[in-house]
Amino acid sequence: MSERVVSGVQQEGDSQVDYTLRPKSLKDYIGQYKIVENLKISIAAAKQRSEPLDHTLLYGPPGLGKTTLSTILANEMESPIKITSGPAIERAGDMVSILTRLRKGEILFIDEIHRLNRTVEEILYSAMEDFVVSWMIDKGLKARSMNLPIQPFTLIGATTRYGMVSSPLRDRFGSVFRLNFYDNKSMEMIVKRSATITNIESEIEGIIEIAKRSRGTPRIANRLLRRVRDYAQVKANNKISKIVAQEALTKLEVDEIGLDNNDRLLLMSIIEKFKGGPVGIDTIATSISEEAETIEDVYEPYLIQMGFLERTKKGRLVTERAYVHLDITPPKKNTTDQATLF
Ligand code: ADE
């Protein structure tokens, strides 16, 4: 799974490239226009009041730029940023230590914030609300809590699972933004920008081909661009044309809309083993030997966005559109669940 070329999850080899290609300011940031507009206003307002930015929760599928946006916010606010993640903060004491060391106006970025454990998370509540950390000292009968004031700061939380962020935590964010898959035009601009920065010779048709197959996800686009560049270097005098991009990506088994063998396997197993669904996520997970969480976070968002899969109360259902894309005849209309869909 980690080797999937079309996975939005960060892989070995991505991080250095992601870092150099990452836009550093909002003016270089392409796409997510509504979020960017809202953020510009929040930044201007916070600066005018000389206050830290509101606590902000960013959610959406992996690879869409949650960390990138956070580092941009820090740059725009001219604030330092500390980057950590939910699973990395194991004990309440670790969280207290992070919070009490923050400088005035600093941004604390917590990736995968839905994976904070309960006791660690509870420390955040008063820190976010009143810039105070409550800390128990002593044990047993002598136990008492001490309130430590901390510097005003901004928490930016990122998650692929909005539903798994507890409501007390969710309620303490002043702004909540959902990042969506990027549209085609934005993806083309992002691939073009990356090709220019890394001095890759390309024709616009080649750029468009890479953009089309990148599932609306910049991290995937940058990865595919690298793979196509390798192919062009070995097979085509270093130049990315439409044909070169098509050949390279077909060899990687990424089809013209960005589906790979794993997506096809998922759809085909629902079609062949469960008559197209509805079927529960755990049953699907077992049938393709994949974790349910990975299916929900990584495979499904794009398949749902493309209209290939539906989540219903009874389980997952493959749509007629998916049958057409896979070149399979959809089942005949009858009185079963399928009939209500097609
Ligand atoms: N590289 C990755 N994401 C980007 C974005 N949203 N805008 C510009 N370049 C990017």
Does one domain contain both 144 and 94?
yes
| Structural domain count, the chain | 3
Selecting among 18, 111, 260, 263, the annotated active-site residue is 111
Does one domain contain both 40 and 105?
yes
Mutate which of 26, 28, 30, 179 for ligand 1 pocket (most atoms within 8 A of beta carbon): 30
**Percent with pLDDT over 70 in the chain:** 96
Does one domain contain both 65 and 171?
yes
Question: Residue 103 falls within a domain, yes or no?
Answer: yes
Does one domain contain both 58 and 160?
yes
pLDDT tier at 145, thresholds 50, 70, 90: confident
Chain segment 33-79, per-residue pLDDT in tens: 999 999 999 999 999 999 999 999 999 999 999 999 999 999 999 99
Does one domain contain both 168 and 228?
no
Question: Residue 319 falls within a domain, yes or no?
Answer: yes
Q: Is 182 in the pocket of ligand 1 (CB under 6 A)?
A: no
Q: Which alpha helices (H) appear in 183-260, and where do they start and end?
A: 184-197, 204-212, 218-235, 242-251
Question: Does residue 66 have an active-site annotation?
Answer: yes
Would you give the DSSP letter of residue 86?
G
Tell me the mean pLDDT in the region 325-339: 74
Q: What is the pTM of this model?
A: 0.92
* Domain that includes residue 298, residue range: 261-325
Question: Residue 11 falls within a domain, yes or no?
Answer: no
Q: State yes or no: pLDDT of 106 exceeds 60.
A: yes
Residue 159: partners with Cβ closer than 8 Å, 6 or more residues away: 57, 58, 59, 112, 113, 114, 165
Structure tokens at 137: 């000292």
Does one domain contain both 40 and 167?
yes
Q: Is 68 in the pocket of ligand 1 (CB under 6 A)?
A: yes
CATH code of 50's domain = 3.40.50.300
Question: Residue 300 falls within a domain, yes or no?
Answer: yes
Pick the residue whose CA is nearest to atom 1 on ligand 1. Answer: 22
Does one domain contain both 172 and 194?
no
Does one domain contain both 237 and 290?
no
Q: Is 29 in the pocket of ligand 1 (CB under 6 A)?
A: yes
Contact in structure between 179 and 64 (CB atoms under 8 Å)? yes
By three-state DSSP, how is residue 186 classified? helix
Chain segment 287-309, per-residue pLDDT in tens: 999 999 999 999 999 999 999 99
Question: Residue 14 falls within a domain, yes or no?
Answer: no
Choice among 150-164, 250-264, 273-287, 328-342 with the minimum mean pLDDT: 328-342
Mutate which of 14, 21, 72, 180 for ligand 1 pocket (most atoms within 8 A of beta carbon): 21
CA 75 – CA 156 distance, rounded (Å): 14
Tell me the mean pLDDT in the region 96-110: 97
Question: Residue 16 falls within a domain, yes or no?
Answer: no
